């Protein structure tokens, strides 16, 4: 077969981004199916998929829904895209509940764990539930009967509610038949029955079941007929007009107040909800029929995470993993001294502990020679040892500058609170650049050493969050290299003063030139391959949706560049299409830990270069965020990254999925059992603290 002409190849249709996101969740759901995974962990993966779907609807669905309502085709959004994605989303939700009802619940029963419905509860259990309802639940419920003076109430995003159809007349002799019961978020969604009522089993009831069993108690003198639990998902992506914003923090606080009441995009009801009540709710929320999801179970599977915490059965969980303290930092000497004398350090989280990063900052905070600490904060959580250390640094008189990204999606409130706390005690807080998100992860320490000031830097592919550092795979890089630290200082200056930095050699910075440098690298490999030089490109990232980069990769592949892409989530590049992308393989690895590190490797002949980065290959990361990619110059560290982050994953025979030309993913299943090993399992074995004893 003749190779395609450039024109023909350039018009090869790309895969749909949102369909790719839903396919990613199918791969996550597979972990909930796997019988080799501990039972409670299977439930956790089911909850993760539900949480991911919530965010998908909160962020991505409104654009398709608007296009459908208007009958317009705008880019990838159209009535057809809305119908297609609705069909895929419904299928995915159906798979979730089928798995929950037909696999997980029976497996729980075999392990002595039961979530009892009303009909499954004996008399003593029913009496206990009734008492619980009367004392703990009913006082917090306020049923609202709908009439002209009591319109349909505001229903918060993702909250649990009940709709009830009543017969008979109210206290005023009127026949208003519809009532709404809003369920406060403070109530636990899963309740454990006392041991005396459970025997040797672990028995639970869901809050929705408790309320459902006692709805009639909320409407004395009326007869409860049709009813259903329901939950509405709303568009929740905060949008600010950078031209009108005078104070970003104030604007975001105001936006957060309205997030829970954005436009409705999805309605979930019980499978037995009557057509009358379902149509009534759709009309109230102004939603089309495709937005209705009838579910065979609780309308919010995410909250079943509470069950995991209530069950004390370690055998139903993954064996605890205790990460080793970073091997390059095991000596008790000064981190600063080690960086000066021995060179750069690399920590591979979560296989190596995030405590190494905290130790670096802790030494800086307690070192009287340290003059200044500068750090970016994107996601650090509400309870952060790192933020406590920065607070202590301010109190010790160190000049602390923190670039806080207030627009980190769904972490806005926590970041606003940290910003206000740091400002109150005297830290210099910068909110990045209006219109851009500061997603770069960097920390710079300035220390007086004799007559000079020396700088030390920490750069990371992931967030400064000690909790997620135990769950996400990321690379932390420490260095005292004068050229690198000077360039990081320039980037901090850019964020504070917004002055353009000098020409950088080791850093690629978005939105200025990260995308351009990547395109240049790909083009260099393309030209080398056309000249007959052996070329290789391997890139690991979370998402690949930037069309310009995708087209450049496809052109490089056609020129003969051998390309392997390790993309955890959404990918719009159609790999392995005969005559078009034969030289490009795309692999997704879904494991116990969330793959999060970004690594870009380029080789032309004997020349190779490797970059670590905070950025995925998405248009937003290239053009609408402040991102970093940095060159790894230490050959030993570079080889370690290649071995652990690239080679190991390309040979994963356990948790890997290969992308097919039509957008489907097929799980890797080597014929040789000895090849069925996982990259994460191998790294856990290598770095486990127990293996160091």
> How many other CB atoms are found less than 10 A from the CB of residue 290?
17
- For residues 493 and 567, membership in a common domain is answered with no
How far is 306 from 207, CA to CA, in rounded Å? 12
Cα 596 to Cα 472: distance, rounded to the nearest angstrom: 6
Mean pLDDT, residues 148-172 taken together: 86
Say if 37 falls within a structural domain.
no
* 651 noted as active-site residue: no
* pLDDT, position 252: 43
Q: Is 601 helix (H, G, I), strand (E, B) or coil?
A: strand
Nearest-angstrom CA–CA distance, 614 and 625: 10
Stretch 409-432: mean pLDDT: 74
- Least confident window among 150-159, 177-186, 237-246: 237-246
Residue 525's nearest CA partner among 559, 494, 496, 551 is: 559
Q: Are residues 352 and 421 in the same domain?
A: yes
Task: Please state the rounded mean pLDDT for residues 78-95.
Answer: 94
Query: Judging by beta carbons within 10 Å of its beta carbon (0-12, 13-18, 19+), is residue 462 exposed, middle or buried?
Result: buried
Would you say residue 499 has pLDDT above 80?
no
In this structure, the answer to whether residues 79 and 162 fall within a common structural domain is yes
Across the beta sheet with 190-192, the strand order is: 113-115, 202-206, 190-192
Q: Among residues 455, 435, 459, 438, which one has the least CA distance to residue 446?
A: 455
pLDDT of residue 106: 97
pLDDT of residue 195: 92
- Distance in Å from the first CA to the final CA of the chain: 58
Query: pLDDT class for 305, splitting at 50, 70, 90?
Result: very high
Structure tokens at 86: 């609705």
pLDDT band at 690 (very low <50, low <70, confident <90, very high): low
Assign 4 a pLDDT band (cuts: 50, 70, 90). very low
* Of 460, 477, 503, the domain-final residue: 503
137 shares its domain with 286: yes
Q: Do 245 and 149 share a structural domain?
A: yes
What is residue 261's DSSP assignment?
T
* Averaged pLDDT for residues 577-599: 96
Provide the CATH number for the domain around residue 140: 3.30.1840.10
Average of per-residue pLDDT across 37-56: 96
Q: Of 274, 292, 316, which one is at a domain's C-terminal end?
A: 316
Residue 540 belongs to domain spanning: 509-692
Flag whether 45 is in a domain.
no
Per the model's pLDDT, the better-predicted residue between 273 and 409 turns out to be: 273
Q: Which residue has the higher pLDDT, 653 or 259?
A: 653
Q: Is residue 609 exposed (0-12), middle (13-18) or buried (19+ Cβ within 10 Å)?
A: middle
Contact 390, 422 (CB under 8 A): yes
Least confident among 158-162, 189-193, 293-297, 421-425:
421-425
User: Is the residue at 232 inside a domain?
Assistant: yes
Please report the pLDDT score of residue 500 as a whole number.
78
pLDDT on residue 46: 97
Q: Is 278 in the same domain as 377?
A: no
Q: Do both 529 and 394 map to the same domain?
A: no
Look at 322-326, 498-502, 663-667 and tell me which has the smallest mean pLDDT.
Answer: 498-502
Mean pLDDT over 563-568 rounds to: 98
Closest CA to 231 of 307, 137, 163, 296: 163
Q: pTM value?
A: 0.91
Pair of tokens at residue 238:
């905060």
Q: Is residue 5 part of a domain?
A: no
Those residues whose C-beta lies under 8 Å from the C-beta of residue 647, and which sit 6 or more positions away, are: none
**How many angstroms separate the CA atoms of 265 and 57, rounded?**
7
Nearest of 162, 28, 121, 117 to residue 297 by alpha carbon: 117
Least confident stretch, 332-346, 420-434, 470-484, 529-543: 420-434
Pick 248 or 44 by higher pLDDT: 44
User: In this prediction, what percent of the chain has a pLDDT beyond 70?
Assistant: 91
Catalytic residue among 439, 477, 580, 596: 439
User: Helix or strand or coil: residue 33?
Assistant: helix
Q: Is residue 38 in some structural domain?
A: no
* 289 and 201 both lie in a single domain: yes
Residues with Cβ within 8 Å of residue 198, at least 6 apart in sequence: none
Q: What is the reported pLDDT for 39? A: 97
- Residue 291: pLDDT band (50, 70, 90) is very high
pLDDT at 246 over 70: no
Local confidence band at 251 (pLDDT 50, 70, 90 cut-offs): very low
- Lowest mean pLDDT of 28-32, 577-581, 660-664, 685-689, name the range: 685-689
pLDDT for the residue numbered 1 = 33
440 and 465, same domain (yes or no) = yes
**Domain boundary pick from 503, 525, 544:** 503
The answer to whether residue 3 is domain-embedded is no
- Give me the residues paired with residue 196 across strands: none
* Residue 503 confidence class, pLDDT cut points 50, 70, 90: confident
Residue 668 lies in a domain: yes
Q: Are residues 127 and 93 in the same domain?
A: yes
**Cα separation of 315 and 55, whole Å?**
31
Minimal CA–CA distance to 300: which of 95, 54, 102? 54
Tokens 């409860």 belong to residue: 224
Mean pLDDT, rounded, of the chain:
90
**pLDDT value, residue 671:** 74
Q: Are residues 312 and 437 located together in one domain of the fold?
A: no
pLDDT at residue 145 greater than cutoff 80: yes
CA distance 59 to 238: 9
Q: Are residues 183 and 203 in the same domain?
A: yes
Q: Does residue 52 lie within any of the structural domains?
A: no
Residue 407 token pair: 């627009």
> Among 558, 523, 516, 518, which residue's Cα sits nearest to residue 541?
518
Query: What's the CATH number where 406 sits?
Result: 3.30.870.10
Residue 250 pLDDT > 70, yes or no?
Answer: no
Q: How many domains does the chain fold into?
A: 3
CB 628 within 8 A of CB 442: yes
Of the given ranges (8-12, 287-291, 385-389), which has the lowest mean pLDDT? 8-12
């Amino acid at each position: 077969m003749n190779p395609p002409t450039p024109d023909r190849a350039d018009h090869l249709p790309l895969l749909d981004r949102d369909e790719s996101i839903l396919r990613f969740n199918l791969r996550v759901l597979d972990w909930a199916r796997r019988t080799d995974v501990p039972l409670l962990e299977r439930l956790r993966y089911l909850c993760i998929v539900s949480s991911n779907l919530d965010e998908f609807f909160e962020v991505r669905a409104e654009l398709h829904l608007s296009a459908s309502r208007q009958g317009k085709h705008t880019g990838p959004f159209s009535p057809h895209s809305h119908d297609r994605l609705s069909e895929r989303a419904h299928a995915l939700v159906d798979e979730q509940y089928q798995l929950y009802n037909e696999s997980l619940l029976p497996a729980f029963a075999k392990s002595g764990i039961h979530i009892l419905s009303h009909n499954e509860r004996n008399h003593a259990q029913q009496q206990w539930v009734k008492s619980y309802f009367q004392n703990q639940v009913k006082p917090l419920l306020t049923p609202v009967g709908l009439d002209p003076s009591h319109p349909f109430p505001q229903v918060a995003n993702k909250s649990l509610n009940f709709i009830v159809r009543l017969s008979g007349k109210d206290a005023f002799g009127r026949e208003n038949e519809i009532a709404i019961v809003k369920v406060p978020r403070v109530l636990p969604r899963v309740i454990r029955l006392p041991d005396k009522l459970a025997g040797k089993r672990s028995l639970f009831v869901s809050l929705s079941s408790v309320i459902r069993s006692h709805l009639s108690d909320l409407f004395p003198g009326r007869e409860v007929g049709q009813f259903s639990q329901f939950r509405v998902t709303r568009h929740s992506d905060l949008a600010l007009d950078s031209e009108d914003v005078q104070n970003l923090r104030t604007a975001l606080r105001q936006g957060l107040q309205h997030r829970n009441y954005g436009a409705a995009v999805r309605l979930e009801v019980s499978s037995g909800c009557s057509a009358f009540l379902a149509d009534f709710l759709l009309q109230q929320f102004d939603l089309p029929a495709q937005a209705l999801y009838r579910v065979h179970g609780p309308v919010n599977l995410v909250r079943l995470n509470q069950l995991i915490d209530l069950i004390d059965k370690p055998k139903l969980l993954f064996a605890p993993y205790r990460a080793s303290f970073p091997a390059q930092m095991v000596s008790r000497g000064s981190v600063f001294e080690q960086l000066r004398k021995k060179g750069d350090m690399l920590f591979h989280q979560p296989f190596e502990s995030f405590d190494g990063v905290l130790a670096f900052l802790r030494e800086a905070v307690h070192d009287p020679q340290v003059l200044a600490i500068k750090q970016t904060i994107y996601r650090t959580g509400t309870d952060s040892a790192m933020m406590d250390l920065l607070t202590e640094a301010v109190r010790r008189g160190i000049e602390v500058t923190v670039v806080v990204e207030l627009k980190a999606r769904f972490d806005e409130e926590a970041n606003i609170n940290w910003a206000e706390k740091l400002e109150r005690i005297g830290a210099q807080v910068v909110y990045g650049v209006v219109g851009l998100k500061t997603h770069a992860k960097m920390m710079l320490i300035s220390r007086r050493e004799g007559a000079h000031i020396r700088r030390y830097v920490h750069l990371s592919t992931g967030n400064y969050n000690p909790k997620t550092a135990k769950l996400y795979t990321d690379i932390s890089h420490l260095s005292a290299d004068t050229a690198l630290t000077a360039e990081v200082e320039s980037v901090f200056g850019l964020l504070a003063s917004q002055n353009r930095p000098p020409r950088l050699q080791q850093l690629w910075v978005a939105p200025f030139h990260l995308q351009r440098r990547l395109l240049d690298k790909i083009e260099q490999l393309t030209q080398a391959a056309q000249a007959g030089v052996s070329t290789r490109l391997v890139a690991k990232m979370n998402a690949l949706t930037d069309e310009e980069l995708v087209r450049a990769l496809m052109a490089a592949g056609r020129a003969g560049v051998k390309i392997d892409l390790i993309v955890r989530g959404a990918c719009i590049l159609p790999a392995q299409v005969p005559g078009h992308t034969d030289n490009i393989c795309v692999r997704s690895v879904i494991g116990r830990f969330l793959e999060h590190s970004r690594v870009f490797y380029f080789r032309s002949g004997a020349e190779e270069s490797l970059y670590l980065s905070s950025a995925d290959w998405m248009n937003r990361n290239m053009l609408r965020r402040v991102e970093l990619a940095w060159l790894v110059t230490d050959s030993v560290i570079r080889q370690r990254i290649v071995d652990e982050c690239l080679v190991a994953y390309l040979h994963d025979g356990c948790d890997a999925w290969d992308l097919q030309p039509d957008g489907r993913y097929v799980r890797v299943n080597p014929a040789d059992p000895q090849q069925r090993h996982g990259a994460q399992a191998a790294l856990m074995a290598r770095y486990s603290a127990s293996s160091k004893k």
